[in-house]
Homo-oligomer: A and B are copies of this chain.
Amino acid sequence: MNAKVTIHDVARLSGVSIKTVSRVLNREPNVKADTRDRVQEAVASLNYRPNISARSLAGSKAYLIGVFFDNPSPAYVTDVQLGAIGRCRTEGYHLIVEPLDSAGDVEEQVAPMLATLRMDGVILTPPVCDDARVLAVLDAEGVPYVRLSPDKDLDRSAYVRMDDVAAAYEMTAHLIKLGHKDIAFIKGHPDHGAAHLRYDGYAKAMAEHGLAVRDDRVAQGYFSFRSGFEAAEVLLAGEDRPTAIFASNDDMALGVMAVANRLRLNVPETLSVAGFDDTPGAKVVWPQLTTVRQPIQAMAAAAADLLLSGAARVDEGSSPPSRLLDFDLVVRESTGPAV
């Protein structure tokens, strides 16, 4: 384990100039196959690894991809990291994570880090992906970025998202197919774009199946357990109850389950409950929650791919690329036939 093997050592051993070694390493053309092999042999035998600092100082790339987030669910962050790493590692890139505090002075947090690190690209998760201040700094520094599930300003940059409308539609259709006609819905936080899309999917499915959406069957939630709990208390009060509740995320669905449990309503015999997101909590309640799984890892991998392939770079004129990924309807035990 000699601490410092440099490109010069490799060049000496394989009898070529350092530039040729560089060419081999970077898979540049114009190297004889014979020479290439000799260099690669030397690299292997010396266990040589190019020094990333020198590399990024000399060249343009930093071999770093940033992941910015601000306090979303831990499971989400972890999945994003895993998905992004998968794509990055094969190309010698590394992931730098930067929690942001949107409540504070984000420019002050982002600008210096961008200037110092000169990352090759950044992946933005909600809610940071809709923070105009962050986007402005990135644009100013000329750092390409991809947004995950962005809400507004879709033309502004490359992005990756899931089809929330279709997913909510399918979940609603699933409930309808089980015989439910009286399906309540708990909306998500109004500031969150996905909240509206999910409601749209629900409303569309109801309409297309000839079912009415009663006003008193739609409750406002805020994506939190507590808000789901409170919404359910209202929805389930009295005798005139819906036979199913579709909460537009899992935390709220768990709130619904807690209320049902308290009221001694059997799930799914008396009440079907559906969630959205497939958080870890969904498998940890009993009965386990029927929900929609976002392909977070795949989305992050797609984002990394857009960055590494260079597709995310803003070209004047052409609109930035985007990817729309498939979701999974995860049917577990919390939904069943209507009574």
A residues near B (Cβ < 8 Å) are: 1, 3, 47, 49-54, 56-57, 62, 73-79, 81-82, 85, 92, 94-99, 111-113, 115-118, 140-142, 225, 229, 251, 254, 257-258, 261-262, 280-281, 283-286
Contact = CB atoms under 8 A, between A and B. Distances in A.
Contacts of A117: 52, 94
Count the copies: 2
Contact of A3 (B62, B142, B261): B142
Contact of A51 (B79, B118, B140, B251): B118
A258 B280 contact: no
A33 to B, nearest CB: 24
Contacts of A254: 284-285
B95 A97 contact: yes
B284 A251 contact: yes
Given A49-B115, A73-B74, A94-B113, 8 more contacts: A3-B141, A52-B118, A53-B118, A77-B78, A81-B99, A82-B99, A95-B96, A258-B285
Nearest to A257: B286
B140 A1 contact: yes
Contacts of A280: 73-74, 280-281
A154 B77 CA distance: 31
Contacts of A81: 77, 97, 99
A231 B107 CA distance: 51
